[in-house]
Structure 1
Amino acid sequence: MLEKLMRLTNVKKFKVNWALIQPNFYLLVLLCIITVSANAQNEQSPSLNIGDPAPPLRVREWIKGTPVQSFEKGHVYVVEFWATWCKPCIAAMLHLSALAAEYKDKVTIIGIDIKEMKTTSIQKVKAFVDSIGFRMNYHVAAEDSNFMASSWIDASGEQGIPKSFVVNANGRLAWIGHPKDLDAVLRKVVNNTWDIKEEAAKRNSNRHLAALDDSLNYELIRYVRDPNKPGDLGKPDSALLEIDEFVRHEPKLKYAPFIAWHTFSALLKTNPYKAYEYGKTWMVTPTYEEPSYWSIYRNIELYSDKLNLPAEIYELGAEAYQMEIDRIPYPELVNIPKLYHKMADMYWHAKNKVKAIEAEQNAIKALKGRKDYSATDLAAFESRLQQYKNM
């Protein structure tokens, strides 16, 4: 934990005999390091930030659309990074094409193919683009010698694709994120109502919070149950005490994904009714990312056979499933029938027969809506539905 925070803060390592340090002093030292990390965060900032001039375009070959040599002043651009193996990238293409049509004279969307496997030739990339057809109705190019991935993705500290970069009419980066969130951003950028300074501050704050959350997760893992010890529930009281100290020094951590996971898990074991109240707020409180709905229902499933959980907790789990389903950007990539099936089980544990039946019916409907659904899955879902109706 200490080494992790040291890497975040650029603070020199120093030798400490932790065996001689009292627990409270250990926590004090830890929190001091966290405070230092807040002040040193600027030193850890990526080399490419919101508000900076957009890096140049350098591509190996233009595959589709008129080549774009540079960013013209007075025009808005979206640089979208994708790869042929990336299913979320492919799912986002139709949405990007719709945006390209909507902002035809104001925004140019450029798809840059990066991070391809060594066995994927430029010919294979071209064949892929041809096979996609109208679903990829915007400018497309393949990067040159990893320049785009290095100068854009890596330099900005981002990870993974798909990833969209919006370049405003002044040639500066206005936004970086997932293409599913482009609609609201482009509307403001095109109308000159987008606040770059505010977005930059928000992004820096989120990066700082994410780094703290990730690091503190390592500290809290020592209180998690040992799966090799039957009946072990870990040390939830100790976890909650440390979490309270962390949150007291940085209130924004309260519903951060890792901290929230440990908090909800510990409360399930110590006070399920407080867990319910915490979970209800957690589900509607975004921090540096959207709430982790799966963290709620997964925790409940982990302890359903180990703890005597009240009906409210299972209702909460079912609501978490529904909120996740409602916010899935590309349903074709997710096993939605299974999510409804598990939601029905949550409602059944909550003794809500009506909603359990409704959720299982939704599971069956969603399953039948898939092109190649499993007859075995259908039989299992229908059998479970009958059980719910008969009980």
Structure 2
Amino acid sequence: MESNKILSMESRAPALKVRDWVRGEPLASFQPGKLYILEFCGTSCDGCERAMLNLIELQESYKDSGVEVVAVAAHERAASAEEVRSKLVAWLAQFPELNFPVGIDDTGAMDTLWMEPSFSIVIPRVFVIDRDGSIAFIGHPDKLHDVLPHLLDGTWRTSAQAKATESERIAGDEPKARKHELNKPIRDKFCAAWEIGDWKTALAAVEEGIALDPNDPDWRESHVVLLHHGMRDMETCLAVLWQFVREAIDRGDERWLFKAMIQVTDPEIGCRSLPSAERFAMGEVLSEHILALDLAQCNL
């Protein structure tokens, strides 16, 4: 990472750099004596709806314990700042019981201060800021139910479990973050080419991405999407999608299997123009392996 300072447990909490607050009372800074849960969320993120509902529940349960939840959408994309705001406001309408402030930062400041130095590349992501202004926990919101009671009684940060949890997080996140950093200029080139319909450049970017990281299903998915929705090359798309399906099955990896299934079945972002018989055949073999994967997890 480019940042010289790694953000981890016991680091001082960075500043809040939120461009606009769309719900709740604006929060300028973290106040001593309170425990804050800062969530990075987004309108198109898998799992963010569930995370918001969980945080609404947590805020209600712990409102008398000095806990304050705050959420920031820092990864919204739209043509203008007003469109970003409108998009977030519309998404938040599904949470009528929302009981904490939500802000927008589309300047990149929150990513630079929080996400990048902590090797965080996916959302939802939470940072818990302890009463003394130090980072106490970084991770997925689902883990808060187990961690929060120990944070509140002051035993978490000195525990062996906390240190092990943080070490495990960094060991898993750092390589992914470094790979993400290498992928970013290629992804930017792909997105820019897509915007102007420069399919030759977009295809070259996809091929570069696959060569850089052959274990990343996102580039395989982008290859399929480009051929189907951009280049409209259905013959090549069919061959590439079958290759994606077979490799997902060979790997037995959850992300590969589900991303391949989305391209096979989703009526909006999937390959709806491919022959239905071919898509049905792909869906059938993928379903068998996804079902087997789910059953194996249930038996753990």
Q: TM-score, normalised by structure 2?
A: 0.54
Cα distance, 1:47 vs structure 2: 2.1
Maintained 8 Å contact 1:79/1:111:
yes
**CA deviations over 1:253-312 (Å, ceiling 9, x no partner):** xxxxx9xxxxxxxxxxxxxxxxxxxxxxxxxxxxxxxxxxxxxxx99x749xxxxxxxxx
| 2-structure distance, mates of 1:63, 1:345 | 39
Count of residue pairs the alignment pairs up: 196
1:342 is matched with 291
Larger Rg: 1
Question: Is 1:207 aligned to residue 132 of structure 2?
Answer: no
Which of these residues, 52, 70, 75, is aligned with residue 110 of structure 1? 70
**CA deviations over 1:97-152 (Å, ceiling 9, x no partner):** 000100113210001011111334212222322x2232533211112511111100
Question: Is 1:50 aligned to residue 9 of structure 2?
Answer: yes
Cα distance, 1:204 vs structure 2: 3.4
Maintained 8 Å contact 1:49/1:200:
no
Cα distance, 1:345 vs structure 2: 11
The residue correspondences of 1:275-354 to structure 2 (distance < 5 A) are 302=250, 342-343=291-292
Question: Is 1:128 aligned to residue 91 of structure 2?
Answer: yes
| 2-structure distance, mates of 1:111, 1:74 | 19
Cα separation, partners in 2 of 1:54 and 1:196, compared to 1, 3 Å: farther
| 2-structure distance, mates of 1:344, 1:194 | 34
Higher normalized contact order (CA 8 Å, seq sep 6+, divided by chain length) = 2
| 2-structure distance, mates of 1:155, 1:170 | 20
Runs of 5+ unmatched residues, structure 1? 1-7, 9-42, 216-257, 259-297, 304-316, 322-337, 348-358, 360-391
Maintained 8 Å contact 1:58/1:144:
no
Coordinate RMSD, CA, aligned? 4.1
| 1-structure distance, mates of 2:125, 2:117 | 13
1:158 is matched with 120
Question: Is 1:77 aligned to residue 36 of structure 2?
Answer: yes
| 2-structure distance, mates of 1:104, 1:345 | 37
2:48 is matched with 89
Cα distance, 1:156 vs structure 2: 1.1
Cα separation, partners in 2 of 1:123 and 1:302, compared to 1, 3 Å: closer
1:139 is matched with 101
**CA deviations over 1:370-390 (Å, ceiling 9, x no partner):** xxxxxxxxxxxxxxxxxxxxx
Cα separation, partners in 2 of 1:77 and 1:149, compared to 1, 3 Å: same
Cα separation, partners in 2 of 1:175 and 1:61, compared to 1, 3 Å: same
The one-letter code of the counterpart of 1:121 is: V
| 1-structure distance, mates of 2:176, 2:75 | 28
2:60 is matched with 101
Cα distance, 1:203 vs structure 2: 2.2
Question: Is 1:178 aligned to residue 140 of structure 2?
Answer: yes
| 2-structure distance, mates of 1:193, 1:145 | 36
2:150 is matched with 188
Cα distance, 1:208 vs structure 2: 3.9
